[in-house]
Amino acid sequence: MATPKALILRAPGTNCDRETAFAFEAAGGAAERVHLNRLLDQPQLAEGFQILCLPGGFSYGDDIAAGRIVGSLIRHHLDEVLREFVDAGKLVLGICNGFQILLKSGILLPDAADGHAPATLAWNESQRFIDRWVHLKTNGDKCVFLKEIEKMYLPVAHAEGRFVARCSDTLKSLDQSGQLSLRYTDAAGGEAAYPDCPNGAQLGVAGACDATGRVFGLMPHPERYLEPTHHPRWTRGEAGEVGDGLKIFQNAVQYFA
């Protein structure tokens, strides 16, 4: 098949779109940055892409709540197009602000029958923006982006990253269905307390996927660790031969091989 193409959706305040396009290209794909207004104007543009990626940043200044404004625009104007995109077997990835948008739009976890979202990303328990590197482990094999990944070391940078489910039953059912696919750990791979879990997320959830495993959102930034020199202690020989984040983009591109 031709080289898979990723649509990198940017909005006012997005600031990781170039790095994310670079990551898809480094993984062997093609990428195009498309402004949200263009997609609102011409939703059929999405048809020419196999992957939709919502990159990190502060879309609309994180006003109201991080991801809320783009999430609402998607809900009201692009819901059908994105549902068709997913139903066609394509992939959707949301990184940090993108994960916030995916949850707030209802694209990742559809609203319950009463119209409420099953989960959200709330303010960090510390009430502060946290910028640090974290240890992660995958949970189950549902998520296509995490294929053959067991653990990763990646940076986080967010203020609203605390994964909270609506109630304990919802949390349990998401867990049982394997959708809570990425978790913070301590350096030894065990359960993470603050600051290994930077935000107080329930069950240490750092990333979650939809029921198909083809829509995935995560708080850490895989596009910030593609090359060994991105590692904070690479001069001490602590980096691997490739950055841990690259595999996520490779999995997405190779999904269409």
Ligand X SMILES: NC(=O)CC[C@H](N)C(=O)O
Is 223 marked active-site? yes
Distance between CA atoms of 181 and 160, rounded to whole angstroms?
Answer: 19
Q: Which of 96, 143, 197, 209 is catalytic?
A: 96
- Of residues 39, 53, 74, 96, which one binds ligand X by CB under 6 A? 96
Is 96 marked active-site? yes
Per CB under 6 A, 17 contacts ligand X: no
| Other CB atoms within 10 Å distance of the CB of residue 97 | 29
Per CB under 6 A, 56 contacts ligand X: yes
Residue whose C-alpha is closest to residue 222's, from 15, 56, 4: 56
Residue whose C-alpha is closest to residue 61's, from 129, 123, 13: 13
Which one-letter DSSP state was computed for residue 192? Answer: -
The mark string for 67-86 relative to ligand X (x by CB under 6 A, - otherwise) is --------------------
Residue whose C-alpha is closest to residue 167's, from 100, 211, 119: 119
Question: Using CB atoms within 10 A of its CB, is residue 204 exposed (0-12), middle (13-18) or buried (19+)?
Answer: buried
The mark string for 112-151 relative to ligand X (x by CB under 6 A, - otherwise) is -----------------x----------------------
Question: In whole angstroms, how close is the CB of 127 to ligand X at the nearest point?
Answer: 12
Closest-by-Cβ residue to ligand X is 56
Q: Which is nearer to ligand X, 4 or 93 (CB)?
A: 93
Q: Which is nearer to ligand X, 20 or 179 (CB)?
A: 20
Q: What is the CA radius of gyration of the chain?
A: 17
Q: Which is nearer to ligand X, 50 or 99 (CB)?
A: 99
Per CB under 6 A, 174 contacts ligand X: no
Distance between CA atoms of 82 and 78, rounded to whole angstroms?
Answer: 6
Per CB under 6 A, 20 contacts ligand X: no
- Of residues 10, 24, 36, 62, which one binds ligand X by CB under 6 A? 62
Per CB under 6 A, 97 contacts ligand X: yes
Is 167 marked active-site? no
- Name residues whose C-beta falls within 8 Å of residue 166's C-beta, 6 or more positions apart in sequence: 112, 116, 117, 118, 119
Can you name the residues that pair with 163 across neighbouring β-strands? 121
Q: Which is nearer to ligand X, 183 or 224 (CB)?
A: 224
Q: Which is nearer to ligand X, 160 or 210 (CB)?
A: 160
Question: Using CB atoms within 10 A of its CB, is residue 65 exposed (0-12), middle (13-18) or buried (19+)?
Answer: middle
Chain residues in the site for ligand X (CB under 6 A): 56-58, 62, 66, 96-97, 129, 157-161
Return the active site residues.
96, 221, 223
